Structure 1
Amino acid sequence: MRKYEKIVIRGAKKYFFRFSSHQRIQHAILFSCVILLALTGFPLRHADEAWAKPLYDIMGGTTVAPTIHRFAGTVLLILFVYHTIYWITLFYKNRVLPLILEDRLDPWTFVKAVFSMEMMPNLKDLRDFIHQWKYLLYFTNTQPQYDRMSWKEKFDYFAPYWGVPILGPAGALLWWRDEVTHILPGIVLNAAYIMHTDEALLAVLFLFFVHWYNVHYAPEKFPAGTVWMTGYLTEDEMIHEHYGEYLQVMKEEGYEAEIKPQH
């Protein structure tokens, strides 16, 4: 795996590494699939609305839009499996293999290794969550000092792990509805339709109002964040969003004298 500098200096400004090109490509495929699925799926869910038919026609109508929807759904499922294999491979290489080589692998060290991964929830996330609400309700003047991944980002990350297992099988039943009805009663398709469309609506609403606010709409980000393209955060973004990691990286890279206060 390519090694990235934790801090890059460009024009006397510091930029902090967040995501590799491999991870950014996965993210680009993910959001591209989600956008295509929304544009080709919601016009069917809301077919009686005035906007539905014009949008569906733009996406190719009944001859092309279903193919786009199924293609995007298939790619999304493949990406879901690929990413799962990707992080399991990294987990084995970076966490399990060293334990094996040091002859220290046992159930307890394995569990500790699992929860040492940066995306796994931990007690600090709970403390940060409580601290965040204290800050929002004016019980404290300081924000949490988030590490590399905050509880909000972990929630975003794990959302597909309950969304895709609902959307995927339900979508497959609707895709092969003729074959399914030879085996299962029609009520199964009714349930699949409700599961597929309601989960899709929930996902899109969350992405639009929560995820996109955090990464694009927030005052310090507007009109758009750039980390998904560049892989780096500015120093101000690091201080505001990941001050715990900011302190650690600045000390590790020899910039301790240049550390700025949290804001």
Structure 2
Amino acid sequence: MPTDLIIRERCFQWGQQTYLMGVLNVTPDSFSDGGQFNTTTAALAQAQALVAAGADIIDVGGQSTRPESEQITLAEELERVLPVIRELRAKITIPISVDTTRADVAKAAVAAGADMINDISGGTFDSEMLPTVASLGVPIVLMHIRGNPQTMQQQTNYQDLMAEIYSFLAKQIAAATDAGIDRQKIMIDPGIGFAKNYEQNLEIFRHLRSLTALNCPILVGPSRKSFIGRILNQPDPKARVWGTAAACSAAIFNGADILRVHDVKEMRDVSLVTDAIFRQSAQA
């Protein structure tokens, strides 16, 4: 079992309960809520609503990572996330994560008040990311991906999906610790929807527990994603809340420690009930 982690005076006791990372996209083009929260006022109001609903972490992202999304400039990303992080830090007490693949954004975001880094590239897009995070002394989420958001959905041909995800994450955990990041501050994410097709996303849920051998907390981000839309025949991402709930329950049952979600109020209920059934029976 991974060691407990303290982030901004909040103790994360892995295995005891499921933690919720609330999504705050300050982008015009994210797949389910693009343009809704890309002013500082709207972002703050949404963050406060996520906290009130039970979020344990707020994840601020200025670069959309939906399939085929365009890469924005460093200046644009900084302009989107820094004012929001500063405003949130002044108003909320829970940990703030920044969703970025750029070391310069990570550094500036932590200076503005962010507490951790969520890197969809697992530290592979920017060679300075892992050394920068080590120097900052903050936790990082390392996610599995192939290619980048423009190319990833053409890179779904795996010989052994879970073995390749495991191998990539093991390699990046080693790279992170070699760079000087404390092993206890590393979290992993199998990357639902990132260079994965429909069947592969489902396979990750079925075999998620295999990643517990890496001995890092596991984050899963199923929220509103297209595999749920396909199952439900539901093109509107916001109408996938109960499909997301089912995926979240499955993730918890199979070893997830953190769920990255948009609908925090509903997923708080889901996680509390799933924890009561599964975790408390496992600990009995």
TM-score, normalized by length of structure 1?
Answer: 0.28
Q: Which has the higher contact order (CA 8 A, sep 6+)?
A: 1
